[in-house]
Structure 1
Protein backbone atom coordinates (compact mmCIF):
# COMPACT_ATOMS: atom_id res chain seq x y z
CA UNK A 1 0.00 0.00 0.00
CA UNK A 2 1.21 3.51 -0.81
CA UNK A 3 -0.31 7.00 -1.13
CA UNK A 4 -1.24 6.52 -4.80
CA UNK A 5 -3.13 3.29 -4.11
CA UNK A 6 -4.73 4.80 -1.00
CA UNK A 7 -5.99 7.72 -3.11
CA UNK A 8 -7.41 5.37 -5.75
CA UNK A 9 -9.09 3.10 -3.20
CA UNK A 10 -10.57 6.07 -1.36
CA UNK A 11 -12.56 7.19 -4.43
CA UNK A 12 -16.22 8.07 -4.13
CA UNK A 13 -18.41 10.31 -6.31
CA UNK A 14 -18.95 13.77 -4.83
CA UNK A 15 -22.17 15.57 -5.71
CA UNK A 16 -21.99 18.59 -3.42
CA UNK A 17 -19.10 21.03 -3.63
CA UNK A 18 -18.06 24.17 -1.79
CA UNK A 19 -18.45 27.45 -3.66
CA UNK A 20 -14.72 27.74 -4.31
CA UNK A 21 -13.08 27.75 -7.75
CA UNK A 22 -9.97 25.76 -8.56
CA UNK A 23 -6.79 27.75 -9.00
CA UNK A 24 -5.04 28.11 -12.35
CA UNK A 25 -2.23 25.93 -10.99
CA UNK A 26 -4.66 23.17 -9.96
CA UNK A 27 -6.35 23.18 -13.38
CA UNK A 28 -3.01 23.04 -15.19
CA UNK A 29 -1.78 20.20 -12.96
CA UNK A 30 -4.96 18.20 -13.58
CA UNK A 31 -4.72 18.67 -17.36
CA UNK A 32 -0.99 17.86 -17.36
CA UNK A 33 -1.79 14.67 -15.44
CA UNK A 34 -4.44 13.80 -18.03
CA UNK A 35 -1.89 14.27 -20.81
CA UNK A 36 0.55 11.95 -19.05
CA UNK A 37 -1.83 9.02 -19.58
CA UNK A 38 -1.00 6.35 -22.12
CA UNK A 39 -2.24 7.04 -25.65
CA UNK A 40 -2.49 4.47 -28.42
CA UNK A 41 0.35 4.88 -30.95
CA UNK A 42 0.85 8.47 -29.71
CA UNK A 43 -2.38 9.47 -31.51
CA UNK A 44 -3.64 11.64 -28.61
CA UNK A 45 -7.16 11.55 -30.00
CA UNK A 46 -8.94 13.60 -27.37
CA UNK A 47 -9.45 17.17 -26.21
CA UNK A 48 -10.55 18.70 -22.91
CA UNK A 49 -12.87 21.70 -22.65
CA UNK A 50 -12.91 23.59 -19.36
CA UNK A 51 -16.27 25.25 -18.84
CA UNK A 52 -16.14 28.34 -16.62
CA UNK A 53 -18.97 30.43 -18.09
CA UNK A 54 -21.82 30.35 -15.56
CA UNK A 55 -24.59 30.33 -18.15
CA UNK A 56 -22.95 27.49 -20.07
CA UNK A 57 -22.57 25.46 -16.88
CA UNK A 58 -26.19 26.11 -15.99
CA UNK A 59 -27.28 24.94 -19.44
CA UNK A 60 -25.08 21.84 -19.25
CA UNK A 61 -26.61 21.01 -15.87
CA UNK A 62 -30.06 21.23 -17.45
CA UNK A 63 -29.06 19.11 -20.47
CA UNK A 64 -27.46 16.51 -18.19
CA UNK A 65 -30.77 15.92 -16.42
CA UNK A 66 -30.97 18.81 -13.94
CA UNK A 67 -27.81 17.77 -12.10
CA UNK A 68 -26.88 20.75 -9.87
CA UNK A 69 -23.27 19.64 -9.37
CA UNK A 70 -22.64 20.20 -13.09
CA UNK A 71 -23.30 23.88 -12.42
CA UNK A 72 -21.95 24.20 -8.88
CA UNK A 73 -18.38 22.96 -8.57
CA UNK A 74 -14.81 24.20 -8.57
CA UNK A 75 -14.28 23.50 -12.27
CA UNK A 76 -16.07 21.53 -14.98
CA UNK A 77 -14.13 19.60 -17.61
CA UNK A 78 -15.63 18.03 -20.72
CA UNK A 79 -13.63 15.19 -22.26
CA UNK A 80 -14.04 14.74 -26.00
CA UNK A 81 -13.01 12.11 -28.50
CA UNK A 82 -11.19 14.23 -31.06
CA UNK A 83 -10.26 13.16 -34.59
CA UNK A 84 -10.69 16.66 -36.03
CA UNK A 85 -7.05 17.60 -35.58
CA UNK A 86 -6.09 14.40 -37.38
CA UNK A 87 -8.21 15.53 -40.34
CA UNK A 88 -6.02 18.64 -40.41
CA UNK A 89 -2.92 16.43 -40.22
CA UNK A 90 -4.08 14.68 -43.39
CA UNK A 91 -4.39 18.04 -45.16
CA UNK A 92 -1.05 19.23 -43.79
CA UNK A 93 0.80 16.09 -44.87
CA UNK A 94 -1.11 15.49 -48.11
CA UNK A 95 -2.28 12.04 -47.01
CA UNK A 96 -5.61 10.30 -47.62
CA UNK A 97 -6.47 9.49 -44.03
CA UNK A 98 -10.28 9.55 -44.26
CA UNK A 99 -10.74 5.73 -44.39
CA UNK A 100 -8.61 5.40 -41.27
CA UNK A 101 -10.31 8.31 -39.48
CA UNK A 102 -13.71 6.73 -40.17
CA UNK A 103 -12.66 3.27 -38.99
CA UNK A 104 -14.30 1.74 -35.94
CA UNK A 105 -10.79 1.05 -34.64
CA UNK A 106 -9.73 4.71 -34.61
CA UNK A 107 -13.04 5.68 -33.03
CA UNK A 108 -12.36 3.15 -30.26
CA UNK A 109 -8.84 4.56 -29.89
CA UNK A 110 -10.30 8.05 -29.39
CA UNK A 111 -12.77 6.78 -26.76
CA UNK A 112 -10.07 4.86 -24.91
CA UNK A 113 -7.57 7.74 -25.06
CA UNK A 114 -10.16 10.12 -23.59
CA UNK A 115 -11.12 7.69 -20.83
CA UNK A 116 -7.50 7.04 -19.82
CA UNK A 117 -6.78 10.78 -19.75
CA UNK A 118 -9.89 11.46 -17.66
CA UNK A 119 -9.03 8.83 -15.08
CA UNK A 120 -5.55 10.30 -14.70
CA UNK A 121 -7.19 13.70 -14.21
CA UNK A 122 -9.58 12.29 -11.63
CA UNK A 123 -6.80 10.66 -9.59
CA UNK A 124 -4.70 13.83 -9.77
CA UNK A 125 -7.65 15.88 -8.48
CA UNK A 126 -8.37 13.45 -5.66
CA UNK A 127 -4.69 13.43 -4.67
CA UNK A 128 -5.06 17.19 -4.03
CA UNK A 129 -7.94 16.57 -1.63
CA UNK A 130 -10.53 17.49 -4.25
CA UNK A 131 -13.63 15.49 -5.10
CA UNK A 132 -14.86 14.43 -8.53
CA UNK A 133 -17.97 13.20 -10.27
CA UNK A 134 -18.18 11.86 -13.81
CA UNK A 135 -21.15 13.17 -15.78
CA UNK A 136 -22.39 10.89 -18.57
CA UNK A 137 -25.60 12.90 -18.72
CA UNK A 138 -24.08 15.37 -21.19
CA UNK A 139 -24.77 12.67 -23.80
CA UNK A 140 -28.52 13.09 -23.23
CA UNK A 141 -28.69 15.91 -25.77
CA UNK A 142 -25.42 15.95 -27.69
CA UNK A 143 -26.70 18.17 -30.50
CA UNK A 144 -27.27 20.94 -27.99
CA UNK A 145 -23.98 20.28 -26.18
CA UNK A 146 -22.10 20.50 -29.49
CA UNK A 147 -23.79 23.83 -30.25
CA UNK A 148 -23.06 25.13 -26.77
CA UNK A 149 -19.38 24.16 -26.81
CA UNK A 150 -18.86 24.88 -30.53
CA UNK A 151 -17.13 21.57 -31.21
CA UNK A 152 -16.32 20.82 -34.87
CA UNK A 153 -17.17 17.65 -36.77
CA UNK A 154 -15.26 14.53 -35.72
CA UNK A 155 -15.24 15.76 -32.13
CA UNK A 156 -17.61 13.96 -29.76
CA UNK A 157 -18.18 15.27 -26.20
CA UNK A 158 -18.17 12.04 -24.20
CA UNK A 159 -18.61 12.96 -20.54
CA UNK A 160 -18.04 15.69 -18.03
CA UNK A 161 -15.89 15.71 -14.92
CA UNK A 162 -17.05 17.93 -12.08
CA UNK A 163 -14.17 18.76 -9.74
CA UNK A 164 -14.16 20.76 -6.54
CA UNK A 165 -13.81 20.93 -2.78
CA UNK A 166 -16.18 18.37 -1.23
CA UNK A 167 -18.85 19.81 1.02
CA UNK A 168 -19.18 16.36 2.56
CA UNK A 169 -17.92 12.86 1.81
CA UNK A 170 -20.45 10.33 0.58
CA UNK A 171 -20.18 6.67 1.46
CA UNK A 172 -18.33 4.32 -0.88
CA UNK A 173 -20.45 1.84 -2.80
CA UNK A 174 -19.05 -1.69 -2.58
CA UNK A 175 -17.69 -2.82 -5.95
CA UNK A 176 -17.93 -6.36 -7.28
CA UNK A 177 -15.72 -8.64 -5.18
CA UNK A 178 -12.30 -9.56 -6.60
CA UNK A 179 -13.23 -13.17 -7.33
CA UNK A 180 -16.30 -12.04 -9.30
CA UNK A 181 -14.33 -9.71 -11.52
CA UNK A 182 -10.89 -11.25 -11.99
CA UNK A 183 -10.50 -14.19 -14.36
CA UNK A 184 -7.21 -16.01 -14.80
CA UNK A 185 -6.16 -17.33 -18.22
CA UNK A 186 -9.73 -17.90 -19.41
CA UNK A 187 -13.13 -16.34 -18.76
CA UNK A 188 -15.22 -18.16 -16.16
CA UNK A 189 -18.25 -19.17 -18.21
CA UNK A 190 -20.03 -21.42 -15.74
CA UNK A 191 -23.50 -19.89 -15.68
CA UNK A 192 -24.41 -21.18 -12.23
CA UNK A 193 -21.18 -19.84 -10.76
CA UNK A 194 -21.86 -16.41 -12.26
CA UNK A 195 -25.46 -16.41 -10.99
CA UNK A 196 -24.33 -17.45 -7.50
CA UNK A 197 -21.80 -14.61 -7.52
CA UNK A 198 -24.49 -12.12 -8.57
CA UNK A 199 -26.71 -13.29 -5.71
CA UNK A 200 -23.81 -12.94 -3.29
CA UNK A 201 -23.12 -9.40 -4.50
CA UNK A 202 -26.82 -8.56 -4.28
CA UNK A 203 -26.70 -9.24 -0.54
CA UNK A 204 -23.69 -6.92 -0.16
CA UNK A 205 -25.45 -4.09 -2.01
CA UNK A 206 -28.73 -4.67 -0.21
CA UNK A 207 -26.98 -4.34 3.16
CA UNK A 208 -25.18 -1.19 1.96
CA UNK A 209 -28.48 0.51 1.11
CA UNK A 210 -30.22 -0.69 4.27
CA UNK A 211 -27.40 0.69 6.43
CA UNK A 212 -27.11 3.95 4.47
CA UNK A 213 -30.84 4.74 4.50
CA UNK A 214 -31.78 3.36 7.90
CA UNK A 215 -33.83 0.59 6.33
CA UNK A 216 -35.68 2.74 3.78
CA UNK A 217 -33.97 1.25 0.75
CA UNK A 218 -33.06 -2.37 0.06
CA UNK A 219 -32.78 -2.86 -3.69
CA UNK A 220 -30.09 -5.12 -5.12
CA UNK A 221 -27.56 -4.57 -7.89
CA UNK A 222 -29.31 -6.84 -10.37
CA UNK A 223 -32.62 -5.05 -9.66
CA UNK A 224 -30.97 -1.71 -10.47
CA UNK A 225 -29.28 -3.00 -13.60
CA UNK A 226 -32.39 -4.80 -14.82
CA UNK A 227 -34.50 -1.64 -14.55
CA UNK A 228 -31.81 0.53 -16.11
CA UNK A 229 -31.06 -1.78 -19.04
CA UNK A 230 -34.73 -2.43 -19.74
CA UNK A 231 -35.10 1.27 -20.43
CA UNK A 232 -33.55 2.22 -23.76
CA UNK A 233 -31.53 5.42 -23.49
CA UNK A 234 -29.57 7.60 -25.91
CA UNK A 235 -30.50 5.34 -28.80
CA UNK A 236 -29.76 8.20 -31.20
CA UNK A 237 -26.00 7.83 -30.67
CA UNK A 238 -25.16 5.91 -33.86
CA UNK A 239 -26.91 8.53 -36.01
CA UNK A 240 -25.24 11.33 -34.06
CA UNK A 241 -21.75 9.88 -34.51
CA UNK A 242 -22.34 9.40 -38.24
CA UNK A 243 -23.63 12.98 -38.44
CA UNK A 244 -20.27 14.14 -37.12
CA UNK A 245 -18.55 12.67 -40.22
CA UNK A 246 -17.60 9.49 -38.41
CA UNK A 247 -19.41 6.94 -40.55
CA UNK A 248 -17.68 4.00 -38.98
CA UNK A 249 -16.30 1.38 -41.33
Structure 2
Protein backbone atom coordinates (compact mmCIF):
# COMPACT_ATOMS: atom_id res chain seq x y z
CA UNK A 1 0.00 0.00 0.00
CA UNK A 2 1.50 3.35 -1.02
CA UNK A 3 1.12 6.70 0.74
CA UNK A 4 -1.69 7.88 -1.53
CA UNK A 5 -3.82 4.83 -0.79
CA UNK A 6 -2.99 5.09 2.91
CA UNK A 7 -4.28 8.66 2.90
CA UNK A 8 -7.48 7.57 1.15
CA UNK A 9 -8.32 4.60 3.38
CA UNK A 10 -7.44 6.44 6.59
CA UNK A 11 -10.00 9.17 5.97
CA UNK A 12 -12.32 10.21 8.76
CA UNK A 13 -14.34 13.39 9.25
CA UNK A 14 -12.78 15.90 11.64
CA UNK A 15 -15.11 18.18 13.58
CA UNK A 16 -12.70 19.83 15.99
CA UNK A 17 -9.87 22.02 14.72
CA UNK A 18 -7.04 23.99 16.25
CA UNK A 19 -7.29 27.78 16.13
CA UNK A 20 -4.72 28.03 13.36
CA UNK A 21 -5.45 29.35 9.86
CA UNK A 22 -4.14 27.69 6.74
CA UNK A 23 -1.34 29.47 4.95
CA UNK A 24 -1.86 31.02 1.54
CA UNK A 25 0.44 28.36 0.11
CA UNK A 26 -1.68 25.55 1.62
CA UNK A 27 -4.87 27.09 0.24
CA UNK A 28 -3.39 27.41 -3.24
CA UNK A 29 -2.10 23.83 -3.19
CA UNK A 30 -5.54 22.56 -2.19
CA UNK A 31 -7.30 24.59 -4.89
CA UNK A 32 -4.78 23.62 -7.59
CA UNK A 33 -5.26 19.99 -6.60
CA UNK A 34 -9.01 20.46 -6.97
CA UNK A 35 -8.48 21.91 -10.43
CA UNK A 36 -6.41 18.88 -11.45
CA UNK A 37 -9.48 16.64 -11.12
CA UNK A 38 -11.11 15.17 -14.20
CA UNK A 39 -13.75 17.38 -15.81
CA UNK A 40 -16.34 16.36 -18.39
CA UNK A 41 -15.41 17.62 -21.86
CA UNK A 42 -13.07 20.17 -20.23
CA UNK A 43 -16.15 22.17 -19.15
CA UNK A 44 -14.85 22.94 -15.63
CA UNK A 45 -18.36 23.67 -14.40
CA UNK A 46 -17.60 24.59 -10.80
CA UNK A 47 -16.24 27.36 -8.62
CA UNK A 48 -14.78 27.36 -5.13
CA UNK A 49 -15.39 30.13 -2.63
CA UNK A 50 -13.03 30.46 0.32
CA UNK A 51 -14.76 32.07 3.27
CA UNK A 52 -12.48 33.94 5.68
CA UNK A 53 -14.76 36.71 6.92
CA UNK A 54 -15.62 35.81 10.55
CA UNK A 55 -19.17 37.13 10.31
CA UNK A 56 -19.88 35.21 7.13
CA UNK A 57 -18.50 32.02 8.66
CA UNK A 58 -20.60 32.56 11.78
CA UNK A 59 -23.75 33.02 9.73
CA UNK A 60 -22.99 29.98 7.57
CA UNK A 61 -22.45 27.92 10.72
CA UNK A 62 -25.89 28.95 11.97
CA UNK A 63 -27.54 28.14 8.64
CA UNK A 64 -25.82 24.75 8.58
CA UNK A 65 -27.50 23.77 11.83
CA UNK A 66 -25.22 25.53 14.33
CA UNK A 67 -22.24 23.37 13.41
CA UNK A 68 -19.36 25.07 15.24
CA UNK A 69 -16.71 23.62 12.96
CA UNK A 70 -18.12 25.62 10.05
CA UNK A 71 -17.00 28.71 11.93
CA UNK A 72 -13.98 27.33 13.76
CA UNK A 73 -11.48 25.83 11.32
CA UNK A 74 -8.33 26.64 9.40
CA UNK A 75 -10.21 27.52 6.22
CA UNK A 76 -13.74 27.06 4.90
CA UNK A 77 -14.35 26.28 1.24
CA UNK A 78 -17.73 26.27 -0.51
CA UNK A 79 -17.93 24.18 -3.68
CA UNK A 80 -20.44 25.38 -6.26
CA UNK A 81 -21.90 23.96 -9.44
CA UNK A 82 -21.25 26.80 -11.85
CA UNK A 83 -22.60 27.34 -15.35
CA UNK A 84 -22.68 31.14 -15.06
CA UNK A 85 -19.37 31.50 -16.87
CA UNK A 86 -20.70 29.30 -19.67
CA UNK A 87 -23.59 31.70 -20.18
CA UNK A 88 -20.96 34.41 -20.64
CA UNK A 89 -19.08 32.14 -23.04
CA UNK A 90 -22.20 31.91 -25.20
CA UNK A 91 -22.45 35.70 -25.27
CA UNK A 92 -18.76 36.08 -26.10
CA UNK A 93 -18.93 33.59 -28.95
CA UNK A 94 -22.38 34.51 -30.27
CA UNK A 95 -23.81 31.03 -29.64
CA UNK A 96 -27.16 30.00 -28.16
CA UNK A 97 -25.96 27.87 -25.26
CA UNK A 98 -28.94 28.43 -22.95
CA UNK A 99 -30.91 25.24 -23.78
CA UNK A 100 -27.80 23.18 -23.09
CA UNK A 101 -26.96 25.06 -19.87
CA UNK A 102 -30.51 24.57 -18.61
CA UNK A 103 -30.55 20.83 -19.37
CA UNK A 104 -30.52 18.10 -16.74
CA UNK A 105 -27.40 16.66 -18.39
CA UNK A 106 -25.32 19.81 -17.92
CA UNK A 107 -26.67 20.17 -14.39
CA UNK A 108 -25.41 16.67 -13.65
CA UNK A 109 -22.07 17.50 -15.26
CA UNK A 110 -21.70 20.52 -12.99
CA UNK A 111 -22.53 18.45 -9.90
CA UNK A 112 -20.07 15.74 -10.89
CA UNK A 113 -17.30 18.19 -11.78
CA UNK A 114 -17.65 19.97 -8.45
CA UNK A 115 -17.68 16.70 -6.51
CA UNK A 116 -14.57 15.39 -8.26
CA UNK A 117 -12.77 18.66 -7.56
CA UNK A 118 -13.79 18.59 -3.92
CA UNK A 119 -12.51 15.07 -3.40
CA UNK A 120 -9.17 16.02 -4.92
CA UNK A 121 -9.05 18.99 -2.56
CA UNK A 122 -9.85 16.77 0.40
CA UNK A 123 -7.13 14.27 -0.45
CA UNK A 124 -4.61 17.07 -0.92
CA UNK A 125 -5.53 18.55 2.46
CA UNK A 126 -5.30 15.19 4.22
CA UNK A 127 -1.93 14.47 2.57
CA UNK A 128 -0.69 17.69 4.18
CA UNK A 129 -1.65 16.38 7.61
CA UNK A 130 -4.85 18.42 7.75
CA UNK A 131 -8.34 17.21 8.59
CA UNK A 132 -11.52 17.81 6.62
CA UNK A 133 -15.28 17.65 7.03
CA UNK A 134 -17.86 18.02 4.29
CA UNK A 135 -20.77 20.29 5.21
CA UNK A 136 -24.04 19.51 3.45
CA UNK A 137 -25.88 21.66 5.98
CA UNK A 138 -25.33 24.79 3.90
CA UNK A 139 -28.16 23.47 1.72
CA UNK A 140 -30.60 24.04 4.58
CA UNK A 141 -31.21 27.54 3.24
CA UNK A 142 -29.49 28.14 -0.08
CA UNK A 143 -31.24 31.43 -0.73
CA UNK A 144 -29.65 32.94 2.38
CA UNK A 145 -26.31 31.27 1.62
CA UNK A 146 -26.53 32.79 -1.85
CA UNK A 147 -27.08 36.23 -0.35
CA UNK A 148 -24.08 35.85 1.97
CA UNK A 149 -21.79 34.68 -0.84
CA UNK A 150 -23.22 36.92 -3.59
CA UNK A 151 -24.12 33.94 -5.79
CA UNK A 152 -25.26 34.79 -9.34
CA UNK A 153 -27.80 32.85 -11.38
CA UNK A 154 -26.76 29.47 -12.81
CA UNK A 155 -24.58 28.85 -9.74
CA UNK A 156 -25.53 26.60 -6.81
CA UNK A 157 -23.56 26.20 -3.57
CA UNK A 158 -23.47 22.42 -3.12
CA UNK A 159 -21.55 21.84 0.10
CA UNK A 160 -18.89 23.28 2.32
CA UNK A 161 -15.52 21.82 3.21
CA UNK A 162 -14.06 22.66 6.59
CA UNK A 163 -10.29 22.18 6.62
CA UNK A 164 -7.81 22.61 9.43
CA UNK A 165 -5.39 21.14 11.91
CA UNK A 166 -7.18 18.34 13.80
CA UNK A 167 -7.67 18.91 17.51
CA UNK A 168 -9.25 15.53 18.10
CA UNK A 169 -9.15 12.51 15.79
CA UNK A 170 -12.21 10.27 15.70
CA UNK A 171 -12.40 6.55 14.99
CA UNK A 172 -12.86 5.52 11.38
CA UNK A 173 -16.39 4.32 10.65
CA UNK A 174 -16.65 0.93 8.93
CA UNK A 175 -17.98 1.13 5.38
CA UNK A 176 -20.38 -1.24 3.66
CA UNK A 177 -18.83 -4.60 2.70
CA UNK A 178 -17.12 -4.71 -0.67
CA UNK A 179 -19.51 -7.40 -1.94
CA UNK A 180 -22.44 -5.09 -1.27
CA UNK A 181 -20.96 -2.18 -3.21
CA UNK A 182 -18.96 -3.75 -6.03
CA UNK A 183 -20.82 -5.72 -8.73
CA UNK A 184 -19.35 -7.43 -11.75
CA UNK A 185 -21.11 -7.50 -15.13
CA UNK A 186 -24.56 -6.86 -13.62
CA UNK A 187 -26.26 -5.55 -10.51
CA UNK A 188 -26.37 -8.46 -8.09
CA UNK A 189 -28.88 -8.46 -5.21
CA UNK A 190 -28.08 -11.98 -4.01
CA UNK A 191 -27.65 -12.07 -0.21
CA UNK A 192 -28.41 -8.33 0.03
CA UNK A 193 -30.49 -8.77 3.20
CA UNK A 194 -27.83 -10.87 4.88
CA UNK A 195 -25.10 -8.43 3.91
CA UNK A 196 -27.06 -5.60 5.50
CA UNK A 197 -27.69 -7.66 8.62
CA UNK A 198 -23.99 -8.44 8.96
CA UNK A 199 -23.14 -4.78 8.44
CA UNK A 200 -25.70 -3.77 11.07
CA UNK A 201 -23.98 -6.04 13.57
CA UNK A 202 -20.61 -4.50 12.74
CA UNK A 203 -21.91 -0.94 13.11
CA UNK A 204 -23.72 -1.75 16.34
CA UNK A 205 -20.48 -3.12 17.83
CA UNK A 206 -18.60 -0.05 16.59
CA UNK A 207 -20.98 2.33 18.37
CA UNK A 208 -21.07 0.19 21.50
CA UNK A 209 -17.29 0.21 21.80
CA UNK A 210 -17.02 3.90 20.94
CA UNK A 211 -19.64 5.02 23.46
CA UNK A 212 -19.10 2.49 26.24
CA UNK A 213 -22.43 0.83 25.54
CA UNK A 214 -24.50 4.03 25.42
CA UNK A 215 -25.21 3.62 21.73
CA UNK A 216 -25.84 0.42 19.76
CA UNK A 217 -27.97 1.52 16.82
CA UNK A 218 -27.65 -0.06 13.40
CA UNK A 219 -26.93 1.47 10.03
CA UNK A 220 -30.28 0.52 8.47
CA UNK A 221 -32.12 2.05 11.43
CA UNK A 222 -30.14 5.27 11.04
CA UNK A 223 -30.85 5.46 7.33
CA UNK A 224 -34.56 4.61 7.65
CA UNK A 225 -35.04 7.24 10.34
CA UNK A 226 -33.20 9.83 8.29
CA UNK A 227 -35.03 9.05 5.05
CA UNK A 228 -38.42 9.02 6.75
CA UNK A 229 -38.00 12.72 7.50
CA UNK A 230 -38.44 15.06 4.57
CA UNK A 231 -35.64 17.58 4.30
CA UNK A 232 -34.76 20.44 1.95
CA UNK A 233 -37.82 19.78 -0.14
CA UNK A 234 -37.53 23.26 -1.63
CA UNK A 235 -34.51 22.19 -3.68
CA UNK A 236 -36.23 21.58 -7.02
CA UNK A 237 -37.76 25.06 -7.01
CA UNK A 238 -34.48 26.64 -5.94
CA UNK A 239 -32.47 24.90 -8.67
CA UNK A 240 -34.96 25.89 -11.36
CA UNK A 241 -35.00 29.43 -9.93
CA UNK A 242 -31.25 29.52 -10.55
CA UNK A 243 -32.06 28.61 -14.18
CA UNK A 244 -30.59 25.12 -14.03
CA UNK A 245 -32.06 21.65 -14.59
CA UNK A 246 -35.08 23.12 -16.36
CA UNK A 247 -35.29 20.73 -19.32
TM-score tier after normalising by the smaller chain length: over 0.9
Instruction: Note if 1:28 corresponds to 2:49.
Output: no
The structural deviation recorded for 1:189 is: 2.8
* Equivalent residue number for residue 186 of structure 2: 186
Match of 1:122 in 2: 122
Q: 1:242 aligns with which of 240, 243, 246?
A: 240
The match for 1:208 is 206
Which residue is 2:170 aligned to? Answer: 170
Q: Distance in 1 between matches of 2:240 and 2:107?
A: 11
Secondary structure of residue in 2 paired with 1:49: strand
Secondary structure of 2:226's counterpart equals helix
- Pairwise CA distance, 1:245: 1.4
Alignment correspondent of 2:44: 44
| SS of equivalent residue, structure 1 residue 223 | helix
* Deviation, structure 1 residue 179: 1.2
TM-score by length of 1: 0.98
Where has structure 1 moved over 2 Å in runs of 4 or more?
none
CA shift for structure 1 position 183:
0.5
Structure 2 residue aligned with 1:95: 95
1:5 aligns with 2:2: no
**How many Å separate the matches in 1 of 2:222 and 2:244?**
33
TM-score normalised by L of structure 2: 0.99
SS in 2 for 1:16: coil
Quote how far apart the aligned CAs of 1:78 are. 0.1
Q: Are 2:148 and 1:136 aligned?
A: no
Q: How many residues align?
A: 247
Aligned residue number for residue 226 of structure 2: 228
SS at match of 1:163: strand
Instruction: Tell me the SS of whatever aligns to 1:50.
Output: strand
Contact in 1 for aligned 2:107/2:245 (Cα 8 Å): no
The aligned residue for residue 104 of structure 1 is 104
Deviation at 1:168, TM superposition (A): 1.3
* 1:194-249 CA-partner distances (Å, limit 9, x unpaired): 11111010000000000000000000000000000000000000000011112521
Structure 1: state its 5+ residue gaps.
none
Give the equivalent residue in structure 1 for 2:57.
Answer: 57
Aligned equivalents of 1:105, 1:241: Cα separation in 2? 14
